[in-house]
């Protein structure tokens, strides 16, 4: 069709360009874009359908329920409308120039998928390049079906006292969580918002669980200050996993798997102290935000009186 072509620079042959390269969509969803009249970038940005799911700053997320290839399907459309300064990323040294928030999240989703880390399935993205820092963009992803947040699952499933079988299940899940974070950090990727509420869990046959990590728009691969970002990620996760759902032995089990150790040495203990100090700063900052009314809902499993 006119205006269509294989997406350039994506490394994905399943991706087709529309609107002179402003849109990249996976082939199975190409008919959907045509049926919605989404053959131009501005048409997607102006789309008024769906259910408003989340709105913050210049970003909005809409939930779309539709029929795709004879089956019911739910998609999420995230649009970046006003991305000044922090909304775009400069990659001049790599010759990529400015990229939008949606393209950055798309790239991060693909990086995690290549590592074998579960995340959302990307459908399409679009961006309108122009001079300046303001790059409108959109990202379309599939719903993660039958999954729930770990920050909700742990209090519901692991409220003490635990039977021996449930305790074994919990320990296995914590080991899987430690392995996932170790794999991501081992690839040089840091989430920057690694709270428990950004992990999702979906049951599998045999009583096992599959883990997913979402909200990847701020993931970075830094060349400098790597340990700073490691501490921030681990402290964010520690802060958002309060007792009694996470005991001291649970945290140690996670950390040993993360470090691939059987016991802690001096370097490990030094890292633990830095994580605890950063966790306290995050908690103090969150408490101030709540007191000032700058955030309305306690975040990520926050417990006011938790240690």
H-type alpha helices, 148-265: 150-157, 164-186, 226-239, 248-259
Average of per-residue pLDDT across 99-125: 96
The pLDDT of residue 1: 47
The pLDDT of residue 133: 61
The answer to whether the beta carbons of residues 26 and 15 sit under 8 Å apart is yes
The answer as to CATH 2.40.50 being correct for domain 148-291 is no
H-type alpha helices, the chain: 30-36, 41-45, 101-114, 150-157, 164-186, 226-239, 248-259, 266-291
Task: Extract the tokens encoding 46.
Answer: 């102006």
Average of per-residue pLDDT across 187-192: 98
Average of per-residue pLDDT across 58-85: 84
Q: How does the average pLDDT of the chain come out, rounded? A: 88
Average of per-residue pLDDT across 238-265: 95
Residue 187 banded pLDDT, cuts 50, 70, 90: very high
The pLDDT of residue 60: 94
The pLDDT of residue 8: 46
The pLDDT of residue 292: 87
């Amino acid at each position: 069709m006119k205006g269509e072509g294989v997406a350039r620079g994506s490394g994905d042959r399943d991706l087709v360009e529309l609107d002179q390269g402003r849109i990249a969509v996976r082939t199975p969803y190409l008919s959907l874009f045509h049926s919605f009249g989404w053959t131009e970038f501005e048409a997607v940005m102006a789309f008024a359908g769906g259910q408003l799911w989340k709105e913050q700053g210049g970003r909005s997320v809409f939930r779309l329920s539709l029929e795709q290839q004879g089956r019911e399907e739910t998609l999420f459309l995230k649009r970046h409308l006003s991305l000044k300064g922090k909304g775009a990323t400069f990659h001049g040294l790599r010759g990529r120039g400015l990229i939008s928030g949606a393209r950055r999240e798309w790239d991060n989703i693909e990086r995690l998928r290549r590592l074998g880390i579960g995340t959302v399935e990307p459908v399409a993205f679009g961006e309108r390049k122009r001079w300046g820092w303001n790059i409108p963009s959109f990202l379309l992803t599939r719903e993660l079906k039958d999954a729930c947040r770990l920050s909700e699952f742990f209090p519901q499933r692991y409220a003490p006292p635990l039977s021996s079988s449930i305790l074994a299940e919990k320990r296995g899940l914590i080991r899987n969580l430690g392995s996932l974070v170790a794999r991501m950090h081992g690839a040089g990727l840091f989430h920057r918002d690694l709270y428990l509420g950004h992990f999702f869990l979906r049951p599998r046959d045999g009583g096992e669980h599959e883990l997913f990590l979402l909200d990847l728009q701020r993931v970075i691969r830094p060349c400098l200050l790597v340990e700073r970002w490691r501490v921030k990620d681990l402290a964010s996760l520690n802060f958002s996993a309060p007792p009694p759902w996470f005991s001291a032995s649970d945290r140690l089990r996670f950390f040993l798997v993360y470090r691939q150790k059987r016991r802690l040495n001096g370097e490990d203990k030094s890292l633990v102290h830095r994580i605890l100090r950063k966790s306290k700063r995050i908690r103090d900052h969150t408490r101030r935000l709540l007191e000032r009314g700058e955030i309305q809902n306690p975040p990520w499993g926050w417990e006011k009186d938790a240690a």
